[in-house]
Structure 1
Amino acid sequence: MSGTVGESVDDGVRAAGQTPGRGALTAARRIVVKIGSSSLTRADGALDPAAVTAVADALASRRGDGTQVVLVSSGAIAAGITPLGLASRPRDLATQQAAASVGQGLLVAHYTRAFATHGLTVAQVLLTAEDVIRRGQYKNAQRALERLLALGIVPVVNENDAVATDEIRFGDNDRLAALVAHVVQADALVLLTDVDGLYDGHPKLPGSRRIARVTSAADLEGVVVTGRGSGVGTGGMTTKVDAAVTATGAGIPTLVAGAADAGRALGGEDVGTWFEATHPRPRTRRLWLAHAAATRGRLVLDDGAVRAITHGKRSLLAAGVVGVEGVFEAGDPVELADSDGVVVARGLVAYASEELPERFGLTTQQQREEFGDGRDRAVVHRDDLVVVARR
């Protein structure tokens, strides 16, 4: 799907009484739906089975018309709070991991029962950022999800909080949902939350109006988006907007709507905020590298190397590296910066940080002579590199 929805689609939507542009959602044959912890839990932080059933019912209705659905669901840590006897969401990583380990099973059990009443089977898919930024793991995730959808299964995706670390994780499921939408080539993304859309002011203030449609970044100028979200979640409207920008920049239109309006939202009614796709859909996995990875270090490049990777679409060679910052291993994601410190690209580095200084400025031939065959590979191969700014 390219940048915006065409006039012919809008005309048909008007005839059906729907909001222009949202015809892309009603016509979508594959959608990714994300729901946050605050929409699945009670005030005390415990999982609310009725809320799980409600979202399952809404998705099953859409699934009944032949649409393939992937559900990205938060709630594992929140579901583990009560069984572990905790008063609130834990702040330390170890206890979060313990709560996720307990809660994930409870969460999936509820989804299994809720979808089973509609004759649907669910599959648990747990991902970490490290699993999907590397070429092999990315392909494995893609194949697994594609096969599940082909078999008529509803994948229930979550970050693998039981093993994810602070150093490399998606951080919030809004971003995870945007990336999953890209990997499965979804036709649309729906982010369900406890707020019924994006407003031009605080939703609780008099005079604040819901923004029904965003067609470009210009529509967001002057809109102040703040807030961490609820006490049981990690997101907020900021992460919803960021995820929408990520998805629409990859050709996937996005709807942010209240979980209570899930059925109406999936039906294309005028609820929430609709974000039009702004760019053509990329064909590679580089969106994952651009958004999923927490970088471990930085390589400083000379001007020639900057031009080669940003305009020449070339691999980064050792001859163009003049500095290393941070400690990392081969295969880790790193930033590539110019001499002024401006980050121009991200990539998966082929050498550990301690290996690189002795290779600074060496040509491929010089590396081969110095270190032997097989030690002259690119520092970052062009297939593992994504440009984020052109200089």
Structure 2
Amino acid sequence: MTRLSSATRSAVAAARLVVVKVGSSSLTTAEGGLDPDRLAGLVDALAARRSTSSVVLVSSGAIAAGLAPLGLARRPRDLATQQAAASVGQLALGHAYVESFARYGLRVGQVLLTADDVVRRAHYRNAQRTLSRLLALGVVPVVNENDTVATDEIRFGDNDRLAALVAHLIGADALVLLSDVDALYDGDPRLGGASRIDEVADASDVEGVSAGASGSGLGTGGMASKLAAARLASVAGVPVLLASAADAARALSDADVGTAFAASGRRLTARRFWLAYAADATGTLTLDDGAVTAVVGRRRSLLAAGITAITGEFQAGDVVDLSDPTGRVVARGLVAYDSTELPDLIGRKTRDLPTEHRREVIHADDLVALAHR
């Protein structure tokens, strides 16, 4: 196999804190249930990396691990049965990790998250503190979506996105996505004729790439979700390596396999990253061209005079999207007014407003531009 090298791969190899995500199909058999050999091979690679770096593992596999014990032939479609399978499988998965890491004298701690834990600012900070403390205590955190209680409304959708969010939440130096595919291709490699992509410098390198669905029936993530997660992490300043779980040892040592995504954006503060990528927007404010220039180009506060329309229902302190006249979302921010207050204020200059309303609609400190995406 050809050995690959680049500045991005060197950055992944040298990362002092790395988040590693592994998919269900890389840990389980086709019939369901954990594959001891695959899990042990992954832990071998993680333990080797752990000797030089701090590691956080984002692991899928709870639902898949619960299929065989419950006598289920395939991943269930209904949420209640998925939650039941996750309840059984989560214990089996956690126990398997405890035993496997113990071979190297390493302790593991389980961290189960729902999207609500990332969307809500207070929960986000709690998750951040918990993970940081586990790392400080020398523990290997094993993170998974809390499938036993997550509903359709509060699901991440796949653990690839969860891994990208966790990478920024803890200030990771690199993200490694391991799956049953060895790299990113410009088409579905199973259909033939697809070319492998070794390096992605920015989003333009993967424009038009057709990413197929999950290669197995055990997981929710396919190449599309991995590509989205890699973009999310890289534009926020975190280099990414996408590789096969079978190549985990090389991915976590020299990083000379798979596809490398360069960190194409500047690293945001945890608060601004939460605002831009993790929080849910409850409404939209449409801006005129002058306000777009002020907010995005000059990082100024948003004033009522620059707003032309409002959609959605929100309260002061909620996150809202800011769109340009064409409807393209260009920024996000914490709004200072309820949606019931703003209609009487928009389009009016500050000096023409009642005294109690002569303040910014969104302060510059509570704004983040999304043009870099």
TM-score, length-normalised on structure 1? 0.82
Letter in 1 for 2:50: R
Please say if residues 168 and 293 of structure 1, whose CA atoms lie closer than 8 Å, have aligned partners that are also in contact: no
Q: Specify the SS of the correspondent of 1:334.
A: strand
Q: Specify the SS of the correspondent of 1:119.
A: coil
Residue 239 of structure 1 is aligned with which of 216, 220, 225? 225
Decide whether aligned partners of structure 1 residues 321 and 20 sit closer, same or farther in structure 2, where only a CA change above 3 A counts.
closer
Letter in 1 for 2:371: A
In the other structure, the counterpart of 2:274 is 288
Q: Specify the SS of the correspondent of 2:196.
A: coil
Please say if residues 26 and 266 of structure 1, whose CA atoms lie closer than 8 Å, have aligned partners that are also in contact: yes
Letter in 2 for 1:118: Y
| Alpha-carbon distance in structure 2 between the residues aligned to 1:322 and 1:219 | 36
Q: Specify the SS of the correspondent of 2:111.
A: strand
1:193-249 CA-to-partner distances (Å, cap 9, x unmatched) read: 011111234323445443222233343355432324432211111111222122222
Letter in 1 for 2:169: V
| Alpha-carbon distance in structure 2 between the residues aligned to 1:90 and 1:348 | 39
By how many angstroms is 1:60 displaced?
A: 0.8
| Alpha-carbon distance in structure 1 between the residues aligned to 2:175 and 2:331 | 27
Letter in 2 for 1:297: G
Please say if residues 345 and 353 of structure 2, whose CA atoms lie closer than 8 Å, have aligned partners that are also in contact: no
Please say if 1:389 is aligned against 2:362. Answer: no
* Structure 1 unpaired stretches of 5+: 1-13, 371-375
Residue 10 of structure 2 is aligned with which of 23, 48, 57? 23
Please say if 1:160 is aligned against 2:142. Answer: no
Letter in 1 for 2:266: P
Please say if residues 170 and 292 of structure 1, whose CA atoms lie closer than 8 Å, have aligned partners that are also in contact: no
- Describe how 1:1-391 pairs up with structure 2 within 5 A: 19-21=5-7, 22-64=9-51, 66-221=52-207, 223-268=209-254, 270-318=256-304, 320-328=306-314, 331-354=317-340, 356-357=342-343, 360=346, 363=350, 366=353, 369=356, 379-389=361-371
1:265-316 CA-to-partner distances (Å, cap 9, x unmatched) read: 1121532112222233233432333223343332333445434322342344
Greater Cα offset, 360-369 or 171-180: 360-369
By how many angstroms is 1:140 displaced?
A: 2.6
| Alpha-carbon distance in structure 2 between the residues aligned to 1:381 and 1:85 | 55
Decide whether aligned partners of structure 1 residues 120 and 345 sit closer, same or farther in structure 2, where only a CA change above 3 A counts.
same
By how many angstroms is 1:69 displaced?
A: 0.4
| Alpha-carbon distance in structure 2 between the residues aligned to 1:236 and 1:225 | 8
By how many angstroms is 1:28 displaced?
A: 1.8
Letter in 1 for 2:263: A
| Alpha-carbon distance in structure 2 between the residues aligned to 1:108 and 1:252 | 28
Decide whether aligned partners of structure 1 residues 231 and 378 sit closer, same or farther in structure 2, where only a CA change above 3 A counts.
farther
Q: Specify the SS of the correspondent of 2:141.
A: strand
In the other structure, the counterpart of 1:5 is none
| Alpha-carbon distance in structure 1 between the residues aligned to 2:325 and 2:266 | 32
| Alpha-carbon distance in structure 2 between the residues aligned to 1:355 and 1:185 | 38
TM-score, length-normalised on structure 2? 0.86
Decide whether aligned partners of structure 1 residues 367 and 69 sit closer, same or farther in structure 2, where only a CA change above 3 A counts.
farther
1:160-188 CA-to-partner distances (Å, cap 9, x unmatched) read: 33343433443221122122112222222
Letter in 1 for 2:248: A
By how many angstroms is 1:331 displaced?
A: 4.6
* Identity across the alignment (%): 62
Greater Cα offset, 300-309 or 42-51: 300-309
Q: Specify the SS of the correspondent of 1:19.
A: coil
By how many angstroms is 1:109 displaced?
A: 1.8
| Alpha-carbon distance in structure 1 between the residues aligned to 2:91 and 2:339 | 39
| Alpha-carbon distance in structure 1 between the residues aligned to 2:178 and 2:211 | 17
Q: Specify the SS of the correspondent of 1:167.
A: helix
Count the aligned residue pairs: 369
Please say if residues 215 and 276 of structure 1, whose CA atoms lie closer than 8 Å, have aligned partners that are also in contact: yes
Q: Specify the SS of the correspondent of 1:225.
A: coil
Decide whether aligned partners of structure 1 residues 302 and 111 sit closer, same or farther in structure 2, where only a CA change above 3 A counts.
same
Letter in 2 for 1:385: L
By how many angstroms is 1:259 displaced?
A: 0.6
Greater Cα offset, 242-251 or 100-109: 100-109
| Alpha-carbon distance in structure 2 between the residues aligned to 1:116 and 1:167 | 37
- Provide the alpha-carbon RMSD of the alignment: 3.0
Q: Specify the SS of the correspondent of 2:211.
A: coil
